[in-house]
């Protein structure tokens, strides 16, 4: 940008979230409207996050995006365009550093002010660690900042993030978050809201086991489409299983009742993967290491005589294990005893924090 050109800039980071009642299946692919509500725990920002900087200026020729250092073609990404359009629609007047006021209508006109977006993840992209959740939540948040976006209704930003990626709607808040499926055809009531803040249950811990950092074979959107078309189990899940589970797990989180929280979490992960197997042709996200981690957690719980650890797997082989502070060290030691450190990693400390860094 040449000196003296007007601009507005901002940088934010956003955490990822891991669903304990899974979102799987869309009733409207274009608007990202789900067939069931879902709930998730937002992870700690320090660990798994997306970081995004945006600069908007009338001096830029077009909207541009760099993701993890590589430029992506914004004109080919409907999702990015939808989020940009959603935020531009709620822009407000901006006062620049030199005191000039840019009216909202001018700021929001894509033929006048354009955005340059730079984003990076602190963890493997598209490996089933909800990278799109953090990415689109972060994009929504940072665009809202530069455009001075004013939410017309509470949680409206989550509905914009949802159109980028469904799970992103849940990453705009910390703690325990529910994404309501909604009923409206236009998606206006399909937004996320916070059920409980992170400090409601500070004793809750999360261990992320990176089984593979490879890109997944079946993307979530394509997988969901095939599942909705072919899985009878998925239809049953959405009609009869999810709602009672949502009430029960929200009550368990509120009461800090780990055994109930953990049991529902594991059952819901298993049912999601059962739906993937019931999809035709079937989808396999977990691998043999994932299955050995499941067995390990059940053995760990059996040894303790109650549920003190709970696994969950998204659209990939990586395990996320919830536990409480009293059991974290023993659980980590058990995992490391059964899955020894690869020779390429110099120390146990490096192994424990071996997720690729920014």
Q: Is 167 in the site for ligand 2P0 (CB under 6 A)?
A: yes
When binding is defined by CB under 6 A, the residue of 8, 12, 23, 278 that contacts ligand 2P0 is 23
Q: Is 32 in the site for ligand 2P0 (CB under 6 A)?
A: yes
Cβ closer to ligand 2P0: 188 or 306?
188
Cβ closer to ligand 2P0: 128 or 262?
128
The C-alpha atoms of residue 83 and residue 159 are separated, in whole angstroms, by 10
Using an 8 Å Cβ cutoff, are 162 and 169 in contact?
yes
Strand boundaries in 44-154, DSSP class E: 49-57, 64-67, 70-72, 94-95, 101-102, 114-121
Using an 8 Å Cβ cutoff, are 2 and 59 in contact?
yes
Minimum distance, C-beta of residue 2 to ligand 2P0, in the bound complex (Å): 37
Q: Is 271 in the site for ligand 2P0 (CB under 6 A)?
A: no
Q: Is 166 in the site for ligand 2P0 (CB under 6 A)?
A: yes
Rg of the chain over CA atoms, in angstroms? 21
When binding is defined by CB under 6 A, the residue of 140, 165, 171, 290 that contacts ligand 2P0 is 165
Number of residues that bind ligand 2P0 (CB under 6 A): 15
Give one DSSP letter per residue of 164-180, joined into a string. Answer: H-GGGGGGGSSSEEEE-
Cβ closer to ligand 2P0: 22 or 114?
22
Cβ closer to ligand 2P0: 146 or 181?
181
Minimum distance, C-beta of residue 22 to ligand 2P0, in the bound complex (Å): 4
Q: Is 314 in the site for ligand 2P0 (CB under 6 A)?
A: yes
Minimum distance, C-beta of residue 128 to ligand 2P0, in the bound complex (Å): 7
The C-alpha atoms of residue 96 and residue 103 are separated, in whole angstroms, by 11
Using an 8 Å Cβ cutoff, are 134 and 50 in contact?
yes
The C-alpha atoms of residue 9 and residue 142 are separated, in whole angstroms, by 9
Q: What is the phi/psi pair of residue 4, to 5°?
A: 95, -15
Q: What is the phi/psi pair of residue 108, to 5°?
A: -85, -5
Q: Is 122 in the site for ligand 2P0 (CB under 6 A)?
A: no
User: Using CB under 6 A, which of the segments 20-28, 109-117, 233-241, 329-337 binds ligand 2P0?
Assistant: 20-28
Q: Is 19 in the site for ligand 2P0 (CB under 6 A)?
A: yes
Minimum distance, C-beta of residue 315 to ligand 2P0, in the bound complex (Å): 4
User: Using CB under 6 A, which of the segments 94-102, 164-172, 237-245, 252-260 binds ligand 2P0?
Assistant: 164-172
Indicate the burial class of 305 (C-beta count within 10 angstroms; 0-12, 13-18, 19 or more): exposed
Minimum distance, C-beta of residue 130 to ligand 2P0, in the bound complex (Å): 6
Eight-state DSSP code of residue 237: I
User: Using CB under 6 A, which of the segments 55-63, 162-170, 247-255, 324-332 binds ligand 2P0?
Assistant: 162-170
Using an 8 Å Cβ cutoff, are 204 and 324 in contact?
yes
Residue 235, SS3?
A: helix
When binding is defined by CB under 6 A, the residue of 132, 158, 190, 227 that contacts ligand 2P0 is 132
When binding is defined by CB under 6 A, the residue of 9, 221, 260, 328 that contacts ligand 2P0 is 221
Eight-state DSSP code of residue 162: H
Residues of span 179-208 touching ligand 2P0 by CB under 6 A: none
Cβ closer to ligand 2P0: 94 or 317?
317
The dihedral sign for the CA sequence 106, 109, 111, 114:
positive
Eight-state DSSP code of residue 59: T
Instruction: Name the residues that contact ligand 2P0, by CB under 6 A.
Output: 19, 22-24, 32, 38, 130, 132, 165-167, 220-221, 314-315
């Amino acid at each position: 940008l040449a000196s003296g050109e007007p601009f507005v800039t901002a940088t934010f980071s956003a955490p990822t979230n891991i669903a304990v009642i899974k979102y799987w299946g869309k009733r409207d692919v274009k608007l990202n409207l789900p067939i069931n509500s879902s709930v998730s725990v937002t992870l700690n920002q320090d660990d798994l996050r997306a970081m995004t900087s945006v600069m908007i200026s009338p001096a830029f020729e077009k909207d541009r995006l760099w993701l993890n250092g590589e430029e992506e073609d914004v004109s080919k990404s409907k999702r990015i365009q939808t989020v940009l359009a959603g935020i531009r629609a709620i822009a407000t007047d901006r006062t620049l550093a030199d005191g000039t006021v840019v009216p909202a209508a001018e700021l929001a006109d894509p033929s006048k002010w354009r955005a340059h977006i730079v984003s990076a993840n602190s963890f493997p992209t598209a490996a089933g660690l909800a990278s799109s959740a953090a990415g689109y939540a972060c994009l929504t948040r940072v665009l809202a900042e530069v455009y001075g976006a004013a939410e017309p209704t509470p949680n409206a930003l989550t509905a914009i993030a949802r159109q980028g990626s469904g799970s992103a709607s849940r990453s705009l808040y910390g703690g325990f978050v529910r994404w309501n499926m909604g009923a409206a055809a236009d998606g206006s009531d399909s937004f996320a809201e916070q059920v409980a803040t992170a400090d409601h249950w500070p004793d809750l811990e999360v261990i992320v086991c990176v089984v593979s950092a490879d890109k997944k074979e079946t993307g979530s959107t394509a997988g969901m489409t095939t599942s909705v078309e072919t899985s009878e189990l998925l239809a049953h899940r959405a009609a009869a299983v999810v709602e009672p589970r949502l009430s029960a797990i929200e009550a368990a989180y509120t009461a800090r009742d780990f055994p109930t929280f953990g049991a529902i979490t594991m059952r819901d992960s298993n049912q999601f993967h059962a739906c993937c197997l019931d999809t035709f042709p079937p989808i396999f996200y977990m691998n043999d290491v994932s299955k050995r981690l499941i067995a390990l957690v059940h053995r760990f719980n059996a040894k303790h005589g109650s549920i003190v650890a709970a696994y969950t797997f998204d659209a990939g082989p990586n395990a996320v294990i919830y536990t409480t502070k009293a059991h974290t060290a023993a659980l980590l030691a058990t995992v490391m005893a059964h899955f020894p450190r690869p020779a390429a990693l110099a120390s146990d400390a490096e192994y424990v924090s071996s997720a690729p860094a920014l």
